[in-house]
Structure 1
Amino acid sequence: MSDVEKKAPFEETQFTQVEKLRTAESSPGAFVPPTAEEERAVIRKLDKRLLPLVFLLYSLAVLDRSNLGNAKLAGLTKDIDLSGTRYQWLGTVFYIAYILCQWTSMGWKQFKPHKWAASVVLFWGFIATIQATVTSWGGLMACRVLLGIAESAFGPGVPLYLTYFYPRDKVGFRHGVFISGAAMANAYGGALAYGITQITGSLAPWKILFLIEGLPTCVFAIVVWFYLPDSVRQAKFLNEREQAVALHFVARNQRVDVGKEQGLVFKEVLAGLKDPKSFIPGLCYFGCNVSFASLPLFVPTIISGMGSFSKVQSNGLSAPPYLLCFFVIIILCFLSDRFKMRGPFCALAAITGAIGFVLQATCSTTAVRYFAIFLSVQIFASVALLLSWTANIHATESKRAGAYTVLATIGQCGPLLGTNVFPESEAPYYRKGMWISASFCLLVAVLSGVLSCWLIYENRKMAREGVPEVEEFEETSVAVERGTELKHRYIW
């Protein structure tokens, strides 16, 4: 008899799977649905444990991948020949490796998350740090390939991991907190680079930059091993009742794997890979990444090219636009959860980004172009909304794993174009790159509207079929037997 069976002496009710969480010593009885305040209290405990950690880790990940732009202005080109298209290739090769290894993000479901994440964090922290030892373009290229492989196994899987702990109508804000780590990394990355370039010593400033920004990641791998919970049932900071409450709200309008937290159900993964609704968010993500992924590599250079600031000042001035982006992400994701809408807010962020790129393409004054950067970077808010939107479309954990693989694989092709739309020959205005970026921002807005209309149509169709607007707890294997995992209302 399994451990789960030993803990399930209770009578069957509609909440029977939650009851299985109680120990044999607990008093028998039906599960009492939690109050709204009780749910909020459990969510606050989850937030305190999970959000600071995933936010900080993603900040470190983005910092380690995007500090190349700061290193360039900190003297990297003096020691390593980056003439011609060599610099662009450093950005491109990272994303080639990142794309080819997107499937590794499913390791968050296949293995225990704390072991998987700690191993991956240590791997990328080590690679990010030893970039300081390279002496040639080839060596730096090898580091960027390995960094892409390591980070593909981390970041793309975190949104799936968060869906194990939060209700689907509240996971958007949590995805926003997670993804805002990228905006914060780009903000303090610019400020940190500004400070590091003031250091004088035997090591070149760009080497110090890689060391200071890479070593902390290795340390945090230890924190992840001991601090990151694997699932609701294995979250020791929650008592038995709180675990039952958490499973109750996580399973509302989606399915939960109880007793089978680790291990993919490949039939469901395949369903997520084949679902047409997995591909529109992927195309939106592609458009976002064409517009945004290249910015951390080129914003310091763009600001420097305005002619009003030194290279050191340009590093520092690259921070404020990302700081604003951090707050915009948090606000839009909060409102998205509040109104239970994803598409309209995704389109709003994309249109704002498009306006910024158009201003940069059409204006030549420093003040306007710098202001426009504040608008351009807001396209990144759409990424946070797409993460929660993908989770909301697919009911089971394994199907979400497949859908996130589609999202990330298609989406991460965007930087292959984005990192090559700002060639040195287009300096200092990079008008062609700005127009291309604006066009893809508008594509994101249009696709967001299309997907919203599709989901509204599907919801109305399910309403006519009698599919309830709110579905209570149903464990995945039970749902598969009944065929009910295929029907649930969408958040559009």
Structure 2
Amino acid sequence: MHSVSARPLRRLRSPSSTLPPGPDPAIAQLEARMRWMERRVKQLEDMMDVPPGWTNPPSPSGETGALDPAPATTSDGPLAGPSRDAPKYRLTYDESGNVVYHGMTGWSHGPEAVVETRLPSPEDPIGMTNSSFAPIFQGLAISKHIFVAPELGDALLNAYFCYQVFNIIQRSTFLRDMALGGALFSKFLLMAMYASATRMIDGMDDEQRRTQGELFIRLAKQYLAEEMEGPAKLTTIQGLLLLSGRECAMGNVGQGWNHAGLAFRMAQDLGIHLAPETLSGLSKLSAQELATRDRLFWSCFIWDKAMAFALGREPTFPPRLGRDPSTMLDFDDDEEAWFPFHVNPLNCPPALIGYVYQPKRRVAAFRYIARVCLILHDIIMDLYSSESRLNSRQRAKFVPRTSQRLDELFSSVPDAMKFNSSLPSPPPWVFMFQMLYHASYILLHRPFLEPASIASATGHVAACLEHSVAVNDMTVSFTQTFGERLTYVSMYSSFVASSFDIVLIDSDRLDIQMEALMRLRTWLGIMEGSVLRVQSIKQPVQNLLASTCAAVSRYPVLAVSDTASTHSVSRTMPATQDDEKNMDSTHLEMLPRGTGTGGDVGHVGLGLHDEVTAKDVTAEGLADDMLHVDDARAEELRRELASNKQGGWRAETAEEKRINAKLNLKLDLFILPLLALGYMFNQLDRTNIGNAQTSGFSTDLHMPSTAVNNASSIFYATYVPFQPIVAAIGRQIGAHRFMGLTLVLWGILTICHAFITNEAQLIAVRLLMGLAECGFYPSVLAYLTEFYPRYECGFRFALFYGFSSVAGAFGGLIAYGILQAHGALYSWQYLFLIEGAVPVLLGLAVPFWLAGDIKSAWYLSDAEKSFAEKRMIVDSAANYGRGHNVTRREFKEAFLDWRVWSIMISNTLASLSSQGFTVFFPVVVAGLGYKGVLANLMTVPPYVAGAIGVWLFSWSSDRFKERTFHLLGGMTLVIIGLILTIVIPLNNIHGRYAGLMVLMFGAFIHSPVAVAWLAGNTPEPGKRVIVIGISGWANLAGIIGTQLFQSKFGPGYIYPLQVTVGLMAVGWAGFAATAVALRLINRSRLKKIQRMTPAEIEEENRSDVRVGDKKYTFVYGL
């Protein structure tokens, strides 16, 4: 890496009106250079075995000389230009000491700048691509300049390499091949570079600039005709791009477009648009030629986007899969200091005095220009193209997604390439990247401007304002530093920003109006000075001036302050009535269909909360649109697969977040309390037999102590296996009706517990109760997935499931209160009667309170129903709203899905802490030394801790869209709590109780998080309800727990706790293995998607070859 400070810098000496005494320093330096060149030429000939005389090769006509024969004619007619008989070009001084170039293309300059650089010595190492060797080739190539004096040709090339932007050519390789006649040089390209440089070199007036440029263009066209007779060459494409840029800048837009189209077709003929590994025969090309091809592809791509951006036309040179600008190789001199080139020191702007030189970083900036053009391509195609297939909702979603891409791009830019208002402008290519970045941001938000929001300067207006100010500041800095050398694209970037300020003139805030007017004044002054160099902007500038005058005239306060500035500009650019009607005739084509210059874009600019309620956006149409794939969506899908992050619904604007939160709150209030209360009694009625046992239940009925264990275990014989089947039946008849029915049935069966007299009756009631309860839990969870997006379900599952721990806490309190009753019945009989009656009452209310689906939710307004339904479509794509039927295929796939069984087995082992252990938790607490009613009371705090743990972890899981680590973290807490309970001595009652608190804090986390993980990875509603039902088989842990925690292991229950630790560890490993397997599947799908085009990805979305989570486009969330 070269140090910037180590390279001698070019310094400009003060001009002098008289010749210096003694030998002229410029001539002395030139003579020293020529002596040195002679020595180096000899070394080059010896090294490369070049025959003598190579510096003066024969021309196509067989003659030799520094000048080739002048072309006689062109396609435009006789060529007026220098002939081979023209006098030799020479360098002299006039009587004032100014340098004079003689010849038909010469002009006068002031004293030449002195370049204080060290001449290479013969001992310096020779490297064909070494940047320090570029001056050698420039010296050797000096005789190869045609139709110009060598000194003038040298100056033109210096100006070109100093200011080249979109079509970057490596200086050292071009000069080498110019000197040696290599493949990367051609006369056509040289003439195109001359023509491009005339716009940037100092020392010419506007008429000379135009005349010289036209001459070089005519010469280039003749050489182009000669090159077109042979095979396509890279230099032909490079030259065509340069001609296109020059013609467009000078106002010949049609000719520029034709040149660009020819360049693009030739690039495709040479396969430049394809990835190198897909082409054969490239092994014959040198590394420099391959690098040139890569840069040339991105030059074509960038210039195509620049023309689309400036001319309002659709891009014609598309990006290609697998082409990444980050692979472009740096130039060998990219880390060397860059300085602006000036032939005449008098033309050096004051801002360059003391200029802070910096590394060129030409290719680095070019890579960033290419990356921003990739985003600009999507903006043009998806927001401005007549072929755009995005509807209004997709356009609204496109904005934040693309804003994020722009932000991520800009955050990766090194500080040295960012604009610093306290320093002079960075080099032109860095400036161009910055301008394109800010202009892309404005173009992204401009179609969505709403005049009503200007007063508050929020949303799209605020984004446009921020980047418009940035463009203004950078343009001022650039012109102060480099003068009127704004490029074609930079001028249009400024114009995009200034057209936004016209909108701000209509703001109702005077401060905003005044700031916009100040920026317009600045832009009009800059554009007026640059219009002769970039003549294509003349008409837009006239329109901008006319629109500014028209806007200001509507506000007397502004008109008074603006009279002087607009008058001075309008003298040279008179406004017409037609101009006032058209603010931006060029950029009207860039507005989306159905929009106007005033920002009235129908409902395009509205947020999703307005889009999903729009009558012209149907649910069916929205579901179909979700299957559409463009370049941006394809890239987003690849990022999701690479990061294992699912997409789906998310509120993107502040207004959407507000309405989404309001909707969720209403759903939470009308759905969750009733279902959670029902589930709390589900848990109470399932586990109250444990509380009854502490009050003499088996003793009063003269049953053995093992009867309660057997009855608790037999409950799961019907509860577990029938869950998926009963849940599927529940979906068929309607979840809201089915859940009410199950509440009534198990409530009645709970009441029956109070009247049993023997063990056989107890077992029968428990079997029936298991059958009645089995469908409730999976039906509730499946019901919630119909109302909440996938990453808002986890917390709702936890709110619902957390009531199982609340049931444990309140179960102890309720049991304590009821068991104090004394009457004609045993206290445990009152417990069953009261806890059975409540579910019956709840079951009668559920079918009337809960809605069958979102459309029938009586508590939602029509707008809220539409929003709720369509956000579910966004979250679930076309899988939403397929009716209540469950197909045979969904049954089969659910039972054959390995994920279901892996998670179910792991969840079963994890559920030992919540299903098995907690049933006898009061008994375990009693074993710590707490007796009777106090044992029930001491179960309350651990259950409260369990509720807090499950709600906290589930909220975090939704918030960060992550399931695996939250799941494993909860299980780790359980394992730690179990170990503490085991290792702490029995006589340390409080220490073991603290261990139980840690255990219970994590005991309930796994279930809602695991089910949310499984449900989120099962997009089909029918299959989802079956999968959730199968996952309910984790309640088998209740059978294990009832047999494991027997009284014979009391009072410490060390053995059951040890077995539970081991099984929990196996479950932990099972969840981790499942996550690894899903990650590998995502990686495999990513490789397939990377080889597919957007059209093929969309076909995968729409076809039935693979369905649901089996599609390559489905991302398994982790």
Q: Per the shorter chain, which TM-score range?
A: 0.7 to 0.9
- Correspondent of 1:74 among 687, 691, 695: 695
Higher relative contact order (CA 8 A, sep 6+): 1
Give the stretch that moved more between structures: 334-343 or 33-42.
33-42
Give the stretch that moved more between structures: 437-446 or 147-156.
437-446
Corresponding residue of 1:473: none
Q: What CA distance in whole angstroms lies between the structure 2 residues aligned with 1:323 and 1:143?
A: 30
The TM-score with structure 1 as length reference comes to: 0.88
SS of 1:165's equivalent in the other structure is coil
Q: CA deviation at 1:391?
A: 0.4
Query: What is the aligned-residue RMSD (CA, Å)?
Result: 2.6
Q: Is the 8 A contact 1:175 1:388 kept in 2?
A: yes
Q: Is the 8 A contact 1:62 1:182 kept in 2?
A: yes
Counterpart of 2:744, as a letter, is: L
Counterpart of 1:490, as a letter, is: Y
Residue 931 of structure 2 corresponds to residue 344 of structure 1: no
Against the structure 1 CA distance between its residues 391 and 66, is the aligned structure 2 distance closer, same or farther, given a 3 Å change threshold? same
Q: CA deviation at 1:374?
A: 1.4
Q: Is the 8 A contact 1:348 1:445 kept in 2?
A: no
Corresponding residue of 1:176: 798
Residue 783 of structure 2 corresponds to residue 161 of structure 1: yes
Q: CA deviation at 1:457?
A: 2.6
Residue 1017 of structure 2 corresponds to residue 396 of structure 1: no
Give the stretch that moved more between structures: 391-400 or 236-245.
236-245
Against the structure 1 CA distance between its residues 183 and 396, is the aligned structure 2 distance closer, same or farther, given a 3 Å change threshold? same
Q: CA deviation at 1:142?
A: 1.3
Task: Write the deviation string for residues 50-107 of structure 1: whole angstroms up to 9, x where unpaired.
Answer: 1112211110100100011100012212312332522210110011111132121223
Against the structure 1 CA distance between its residues 386 and 367, is the aligned structure 2 distance closer, same or farther, given a 3 Å change threshold? same
Task: Write the deviation string for residues 377-413 of structure 1: whole angstroms up to 9, x where unpaired.
Answer: 222211111110110111110121232232123x122
Q: Is the 8 A contact 2:703 2:758 kept in 1?
A: no
Against the structure 1 CA distance between its residues 394 and 124, is the aligned structure 2 distance closer, same or farther, given a 3 Å change threshold? same
Corresponding residue of 2:861: 239
Corresponding residue of 1:439: 1062
Residue 1038 of structure 2 corresponds to residue 415 of structure 1: yes
Q: CA deviation at 1:321?
A: 0.6
Q: Is the 8 A contact 2:739 2:779 kept in 1?
A: no
- Percent sequence identity over aligned pairs: 25
Against the structure 1 CA distance between its residues 124 and 174, is the aligned structure 2 distance closer, same or farther, given a 3 Å change threshold? same
Q: What CA distance in whole angstroms lies between the structure 2 residues aligned with 1:394 and 1:404?
A: 10
Q: What CA distance in whole angstroms lies between the structure 1 residues aligned with 2:615 and 2:705?
A: 73
- Correspondent of 2:769 among 109, 132, 147: 147
Residue 912 of structure 2 corresponds to residue 290 of structure 1: yes
Give the stretch that moved more between structures: 371-380 or 335-344.
371-380
Counterpart of 1:429, as a letter, is: G
Which stretches in structure 2 are left out of the alignment for 5+ residues? 1-388, 395-612, 623-650, 1091-1100
Q: Name segments (4+ residues, structure 1) moved above 6 Å.
A: 11-16
Q: What CA distance in whole angstroms lies between the structure 2 residues aligned with 1:345 and 1:191?
A: 31
Against the structure 1 CA distance between its residues 27 and 414, is the aligned structure 2 distance closer, same or farther, given a 3 Å change threshold? closer
- Correspondent of 1:58 among 679, 690, 699: 679
Residue 720 of structure 2 corresponds to residue 99 of structure 1: yes
Question: What are the residue-to-residue correspondences of 1:255-404 with 2, within 5 Å?
Answer: 255=877, 260-307=882-929, 309-363=930-984, 364=986, 365-377=988-1000, 378-404=1002-1028
Which stretches in structure 1 are left out of the alignment for 5+ residues? 1-10, 17-25, 468-477
SS of 1:420's equivalent in the other structure is helix
- Correspondent of 2:848 among 226, 235, 240: 226
Against the structure 1 CA distance between its residues 297 and 80, is the aligned structure 2 distance closer, same or farther, given a 3 Å change threshold? farther
Q: CA deviation at 1:258?
A: 5.9
Q: CA deviation at 1:416?
A: 1.8
Against the structure 1 CA distance between its residues 135 and 167, is the aligned structure 2 distance closer, same or farther, given a 3 Å change threshold? same
Task: Write the deviation string for residues 332-363 of structure 1: whole angstroms up to 9, x where unpaired.
Answer: 00000011111111111111111111222222
Q: Going by fraction, where is helix more abundant, 1 or 2?
A: 1
Against the structure 1 CA distance between its residues 445 and 219, is the aligned structure 2 distance closer, same or farther, given a 3 Å change threshold? same
Q: What CA distance in whole angstroms lies between the structure 1 residues aligned with 2:952 and 2:703?
A: 40
Corresponding residue of 1:4: none
Against the structure 1 CA distance between its residues 479 and 236, is the aligned structure 2 distance closer, same or farther, given a 3 Å change threshold? farther
Q: CA deviation at 1:146?
A: 1.0
Give the stretch that moved more between structures: 134-143 or 326-335.
134-143
Q: Is the 8 A contact 1:266 1:398 kept in 2?
A: no
Q: Is the 8 A contact 1:354 1:376 kept in 2?
A: yes
Give the stretch that moved more between structures: 366-375 or 209-218.
366-375
Question: What are the residue-to-residue correspondences of 1:15-34 with 2, within 5 Å?
Answer: 29-30=616-617
Question: What are the residue-to-residue correspondences of 1:107-118 with 2, within 5 Å?
Answer: 107-118=729-740
Q: CA deviation at 1:232?
A: 1.4
Q: Is the 8 A contact 1:347 1:448 kept in 2?
A: yes
Corresponding residue of 1:20: none
Corresponding residue of 2:1076: 453
Mark the structure with the bigger radius of gyration. 2
Against the structure 1 CA distance between its residues 354 and 313, is the aligned structure 2 distance closer, same or farther, given a 3 Å change threshold? same
Q: CA deviation at 1:269?
A: 2.9
The TM-score with structure 2 as length reference comes to: 0.40
Q: CA deviation at 1:38?
A: 2.7
Q: CA deviation at 1:13?
A: 6.2
Counterpart of 2:904, as a letter, is: G
